[in-house]
Structure 1
Amino acid sequence: MENLWSDDDAKAAIARHAAKGINEDLALRVYTTRLLGGEPRLVLHGGGNTSVKTRMADITGAQVDVLCVKGSGWDMGTIEAPGLPAVRLGPLGELKGLQALSDEDMVNVQRTNLLDSKAPNPSVETLLHAFLPHKFIDHTHSNAVLSLTDQPDGEALAADVFGKRAALVPYVMPGFALAKKTDEIARANSDAEGLVLLKHGIFSMGATAEEAYVRMIDLVTLAEKRLAKETRKIFPGVTLPKEIASVAEVTPILRGLLSLPAKDGGREAAQRFVFEFRTGPEILAYVGGKEITRYSQQGPVTPDHAIRTKGVPLIAPAPQAGKLDVFATEAKAALDAYVADYHAYFARHNAKQMPPKKELDPIPRVVLVPGLGLFGVGNSSKDAKIAADLAETTVAVVADAERLGRYECIPEPDIFDIEYWSLEQAKLGAAAEKPLARRIVAVTGGGSGIGAATAAAFAREGAEVVVLDRDVSKVKGFAIACDVTDLKSVRAAFDKIAATYGGVDIVVSNAGAAWQGKIGEVDEAILRQSFELNFWAHQSVAQNAVRIMKAQGLGGCLLFNASKQAVNPGADFGPYGLPKAATLFLSRQYALDYGADGIRSNAVNADRIRSGLLTDEMIAQRSKARGLSEADYMGGNLLGIEVTADDVAQAFVSLAKAAKTTGAVITVDGGNIAAALR
């Protein structure tokens, strides 16, 4: 483990914080916390915590002793001073004399002693930091330390590796009891540089920020060196099919299976998930091991992971290419067994709870697929990535643990206590989801104009948005370079969406261009070119979307940009209007043919929108030809107002939300009776 401390960087951190009125202690606490948080082998996604004991002014200006400790919701890798809220140290120290303290009372006393009432909740391990006498304290979930202690004989191994440099603390659930136990052991080992919490993590302590940080690095390095001595072969593999199905083929099936069914019997799933795929030699060896049902079902490598990954992952069957129906059947059976086991696990442990807990959903947050890799599963792309990161860490920790001996984590009752601990669940937040959260949306021609406005509108509604365009160099967010007139390009783009997020729910087929010319005189090549983009591209996009939607079995929504030209053709616009008219009827054909699959299909009929189709130059030409100002031309509708790309985007969003509407066309033009459908 590399020591990243830099005197120059430390001085710069002090100066930078001093300019904001922040003292040296807190400045250095932020600096070393970020050093630790930037190393994924030590800290991942809000795990771990740090503290410093210092003095600060209260509201009266009096200097008081405080503990600045990591606040809930802050990540150590990006933390700033507000992420280390100051708590009055005196009242916390007085709690040491109590024999017991409920979690609710612990949180209350911590919050009531904050110098700033608006600060985040201090860490659930605040009292542990407060009871120890050291000025700077660091806590991480080091991979190497976990591999060493997640063993049947982990205590003996740790004692041998660390000797008197670190005292050993048996597993106790975080909170008041752990704080008391740790204080007791620390006082009995006053010369120890650190504390190893068996099957949990490691603490290091010091009089300075540098000392505590360096001790953490040195102690973790001792564990790494011990593990490096082990060369035992692990994870002997099972026999896999000669050809494994692709990620793009497998993910929609899994996503459909994991989504919870609608409570009203409708086609819209009550709860969808977003996926994140990971693979590589280490992961493939792990998921393809003969003993996967043993080591993968033990439980989390550190208790903190349980709220993100649940206790154990789902083991799916190996997907053989060309036999996806078999994979779907076997995967469903595996999921059904997982769900039944989860219900039994909950019932087993909830029977001892007073008051009883409310069961969480039984869906796995990690899926292992032999021959392919692993998937993180979450309510959003961010959540799925977190689950996948933790799953990758699990692979690394278990691999080292198995080389050393036999992986063994905390017992199942302790896993349940952590998973259903209100203080841990609070980390996940209780914010209401946006209307289109968990939906995966693809927008063609999303790099500019109506497409860009539509992509932004869906993102504001909480959807995971993918932009497809020929030029995505300036697109913010996830984008795929795609020529919608090329069948292979479209197929590859949709496969990438499925492999990246797990599938697709809503597709806005928007890409188009306006060719002009008198229909009896236009060059055939121009007409064919227009049909390629303004009709055939829509068909190719919709066809690929339906392919994935049917594999998911979750329904879906197709949205087409049909244009006013489809029903109210303009002079010299036949090359554009003809394929658009075909696209309008294409949208209705999809509604007719795939309604039974829960796939809705609707269109938007827009006119006079500043976009890639109607450029400023074209607007100037048309308004001049009609003897109108540009404002009068653009507002030349019944309402007398200009219609924008954002207005069209909102129409697409509204249709996406209209769960019981299909085969419809919404007109967005400010009022043009000639273009009104009848």
Structure 2
Amino acid sequence: MKSAWNDQEAAGLVERYAAEGVGGDLALRVYTTRLLGSEPRLVLHGGGNTSVKSRARDVTGAELDVLYVKGSGWDMGTIEPAGLPAVQLDPLLGLAGIDVLSDEDMVNLQRRSLLDSKAPNPSVETLLHAWVPRTFIDHTHANAALVLTDQPHGEEICREVYGDRAAIVPYIMPGFDLAKAAKVAADAHPDAEGLVLLKHGLFTFGDTAREAYERMIEFVSLAEARIEMGRRTMFVSAELPAPIASASEIAPVIRGLLANHRSDERDDIERFVLEHRTGPGILSYVDSAELARYSQVGTVTPDHAIRTKPLPVVLPAPTIGDLTPWTRQARAAVDAYREAYTAYFERHNPRYGGTKRMLDPSPRVVLVPGVGLFASGRDARAASAAADLAETTVEVITDAESMNRFESITEAELFDIEYWSLEQAKLAGATEKALARHVAVVTGGAGAIGRATADAFREAGAEVALFDLPGPELDAAAEAGAGLAVPCDVTDDASVDRAFEAVADRFGGVDILVSNAGAAWRGPMADVPDEVLRESFELNFFAHQRVTRAAVRIMRAQGTGGCLLFNVSKQAVNPGPEFGPYGLPKAATLGLVRQYAIEHGREGIRSNGINADRIRSGVLTDEMIAARSEARGVSEEGYMRGNLLGREVRAEDVARAFVSLALARATTGAILTVDGGNVAAALR
């Protein structure tokens, strides 16, 4: 591993923060923390921390000894000075004289010592940083260090690699006891340049930010060299069936199997968003004949268990074709995992007097020979984080197995970290948005109604994919963060299939379809050419059928129901002159809404539509508004407000109506008007 230190960048950051009143020590602490956090082989998703001992003034102007230490919730790769809150050092040092301190009391005492009460919670390893008498301290979960320590003789290997340069600390769960053990080790080795925490991570020290950082890089490089020196033959592949099904084919099945049914109500479901990872290293790992052994040992560093659970589930390799037999096998494997997880909880909860609340028993990581790995989470971000950790697990175990044999902490220790009281407290206070854990597809996603609908569903907590023709509008939607932009021509079967495969690859499946794409063709029916009418039917009817059929296929594979939403039009029930080429296919689409409601209601798939009118969009352009206003002899404002409420209806109104229908669990086959009030368009 190479040092990324750059004198010019470091000096520039010091100068920038000096103008904001930030001292040089803290500025350089921010700089090297970012260097560490930007290297995934060192730090992933909160798996490290840094500190510097310095001086600061409180609100009275008194100068105090403080510890600037990474705060909870901050990403080391993008940290700012506010992410390293100042904690008074003397109260922390005073805690070294006591023998027992609960995690809750420790966190409370650390918060009481903050100079700014609004600052984030200091790291759970704050006391360790305080008690080790070094100025700059860096902590990472470097992959290479974990490879050395996650072995039967890891301590011997580390002593061989680091000698007196690093003190060895046995595995102890983060918190007060670990801080005490680290202090003992550091005090016994006053010249040590770092600490090796067995099966946990690596600390390095320095008088300057650069020294601590570059020692970390050097220590990791020494570990990497030792791994290469001891590397043996890699995994031997098992015999797999051929040909193997694709990730997009099996992802909806997996997503459905992982979903938790929280009650007897069919639609009371806790879903997960998936992320798929593959590649030569991952495939070598999951295709190995010994996968069932080394994958079921535990995590490579304890805190991974909080995001990935202690163990993954292993599914059989799927073959192309009828997935029914594979689905039965996969279901049996997931059911067995849940039973084993429940038994694991029941074995260890008594140690806490039965006070722990069991987390859901579904696996967070799924290993599939021939395909790769899937990780799950409450949203795309959580799934991505779990996938990153799972990929790190693959890399560390691969290297550990290449040297000797991977070894984790004990099952009881894994339970302690997974059911850590501090994590349980976070869960107890967590709330989710109404459409969290759902995946929505919006066709015509780059248009006015599509963009507004995507924004509304994201605001409600859903992951969103926008389907639209490739071009600047779709690119702009992606750049604005409206959702996953998927180029798609909804009038083409192959394009639609590819688009839904992309969504299944990215999120694991689909729960909500907003079939919104459309365009308006005009002309008197007696004069309109057949090809124009066919073109309108292709987009305004058949495209709705095409995307709905593809979405339902995925929803049925998931087995967790779904929601179909259609942008119909008031033209379906209140046709206007010279709008037949647009209104006729929309009338057919209204029938389509009801047909899907009739045929799939028993599967928990709801189908509803919206009849909107006079929405500024790609259908109702400024040119068309001007023409319609002139034809009716009213102003453009009068035309747009020509309804019972006397107000212009906007794309955001349609979007909110779509969200409302998505949340209406007992509603199907319904058409909701969003037109400001138009009696002639009211359904009877």
Q: What's the TM-score once normalised by structure 1's chain length?
A: 0.99
> What CA deviation, in whole Å up to 9, does each residue of 1:323-377 have, x standing for no partner?
3101110011101111111111111111111462111111111000111000110
Compute the RMSD of aligned alpha carbons: 1.1
Which residue identity does 1:437 align to in structure 2?
Answer: A
Structure 2 contact 231–399 (Cα < 8 Å) conserved: no
User: Is 1:260–2:255 an aligned residue pair?
Assistant: no
Please report how far the alpha carbon of residue 448 of structure 1 lies from its aligned counterpart in structure 2 after TM superposition: 1.4
Paired residues for 1:297-446 under 5 Å: 297-354=296-353, 356-425=355-424, 430-446=429-445
SS at match of 1:239: coil
User: Is 1:516–2:522 an aligned residue pair?
Assistant: yes
User: Is 1:615–2:614 an aligned residue pair?
Assistant: no
Structure 1 contact 73–427 (Cα < 8 Å) conserved: no
Q: Which residue of 2 aligns with 1:36?
A: 36
Q: Which residue of 1 aligns with 2:535?
A: 529
Q: Which residue of 1 aligns with 2:123?
A: 123
Please report how far the alpha carbon of residue 170 of structure 1 lies from its aligned counterpart in structure 2 after TM superposition: 0.8
Paired with 2:184 and 2:272, the residues of 1 have a C-alpha distance of 45
Structure 2 contact 269–560 (Cα < 8 Å) conserved: no
Q: Which residue of 2 aligns with 1:603?
A: 609
Equivalent residue for 2:669, pick from 663, 667, 671: 663
Q: Which residue of 2 aligns with 1:181?
A: 181
Paired with 1:453 and 1:63, the residues of 2 have a C-alpha distance of 52
Structure 1 contact 124–423 (Cα < 8 Å) conserved: no
Structure 1 contact 314–364 (Cα < 8 Å) conserved: yes
Please report how far the alpha carbon of residue 274 of structure 1 lies from its aligned counterpart in structure 2 after TM superposition: 0.2
Which residue identity does 1:170 align to in structure 2?
Answer: P
Paired with 2:262 and 2:200, the residues of 1 have a C-alpha distance of 39
Equivalent residue for 2:573, pick from 560, 567, 572: 567
User: Is 1:474–2:476 an aligned residue pair?
Assistant: yes
Which residue identity does 1:508 align to in structure 2?
Answer: V
Structure 1 contact 136–212 (Cα < 8 Å) conserved: yes
Q: Which residue of 1 aligns with 2:100?
A: 100
Q: Which residue of 1 aligns with 2:24?
A: 24
Please report how far the alpha carbon of residue 449 of structure 1 lies from its aligned counterpart in structure 2 after TM superposition: 1.3
Paired with 1:7 and 1:644, the residues of 2 have a C-alpha distance of 54
Please report how far the alpha carbon of residue 430 of structure 1 lies from its aligned counterpart in structure 2 after TM superposition: 3.6
Q: Which residue of 2 aligns with 1:78?
A: 78
> What CA deviation, in whole Å up to 9, does each residue of 1:257-312 have, x standing for no partner?
1101141332x142000000000011011111111111111111001111000000
Cα distance change, pair 424–206 in 1 and its aligned pair in 2 (3 A): farther
Paired with 1:355 and 1:184, the residues of 2 have a C-alpha distance of 33
Cα distance change, pair 546–355 in 1 and its aligned pair in 2 (3 A): closer
User: Is 1:205–2:205 an aligned residue pair?
Assistant: yes
Q: Which residue of 1 aligns with 2:681?
A: 675
Structure 2 contact 67–87 (Cα < 8 Å) conserved: yes
Please report how far the alpha carbon of residue 23 of structure 1 lies from its aligned counterpart in structure 2 after TM superposition: 0.8
Structure 1 contact 42–142 (Cα < 8 Å) conserved: yes
Q: Which residue of 1 aligns with 2:9?
A: 9
Q: Which residue of 2 aligns with 1:635?
A: 641
SS at match of 2:489: coil
Structure 1 contact 269–554 (Cα < 8 Å) conserved: no
Q: Which residue of 1 aligns with 2:140?
A: 140
Equivalent residue for 2:564, pick from 546, 549, 558: 558
Paired with 1:567 and 1:14, the residues of 2 have a C-alpha distance of 67
Q: Which residue of 2 aligns with 1:240?
A: 240
Q: Which residue of 2 aligns with 1:158?
A: 158
Please report how far the alpha carbon of residue 429 of structure 1 lies from its aligned counterpart in structure 2 after TM superposition: 8.5
Paired with 2:517 and 2:569, the residues of 1 have a C-alpha distance of 11
Paired with 1:453 and 1:108, the residues of 2 have a C-alpha distance of 44
Structure 2 contact 139–204 (Cα < 8 Å) conserved: yes
Please report how far the alpha carbon of residue 426 of structure 1 lies from its aligned counterpart in structure 2 after TM superposition: 5.4
Which residue identity does 2:477 align to in structure 1?
Answer: V
Paired with 1:426 and 1:63, the residues of 2 have a C-alpha distance of 35
Paired with 2:130 and 2:672, the residues of 1 have a C-alpha distance of 62
Q: What's the TM-score once normalised by structure 2's chain length?
A: 0.98
Unaligned runs of 5+ residues in structure 2 are: none
Cα distance change, pair 89–262 in 1 and its aligned pair in 2 (3 A): closer
SS at match of 2:539: helix
User: Is 1:192–2:192 an aligned residue pair?
Assistant: yes
Paired with 2:555 and 2:532, the residues of 1 have a C-alpha distance of 33
Which residue identity does 1:271 align to in structure 2?
Answer: E
Paired with 2:333 and 2:653, the residues of 1 have a C-alpha distance of 46
Structure 1 contact 643–669 (Cα < 8 Å) conserved: yes
Cα distance change, pair 617–256 in 1 and its aligned pair in 2 (3 A): same
> What CA deviation, in whole Å up to 9, does each residue of 1:121-176 have, x standing for no partner?
11110000000110100000000000011000000011111111111111111111
Number of aligned residue pairs: give it.
677
Cα distance change, pair 427–205 in 1 and its aligned pair in 2 (3 A): farther
SS at match of 2:75: coil
Which residue identity does 2:648 align to in structure 1?
Answer: E
Paired with 1:51 and 1:178, the residues of 2 have a C-alpha distance of 17
Paired with 2:428 and 2:462, the residues of 1 have a C-alpha distance of 19
Please report how far the alpha carbon of residue 636 of structure 1 lies from its aligned counterpart in structure 2 after TM superposition: 0.7
Structure 1 contact 245–321 (Cα < 8 Å) conserved: yes
Paired with 1:115 and 1:377, the residues of 2 have a C-alpha distance of 39
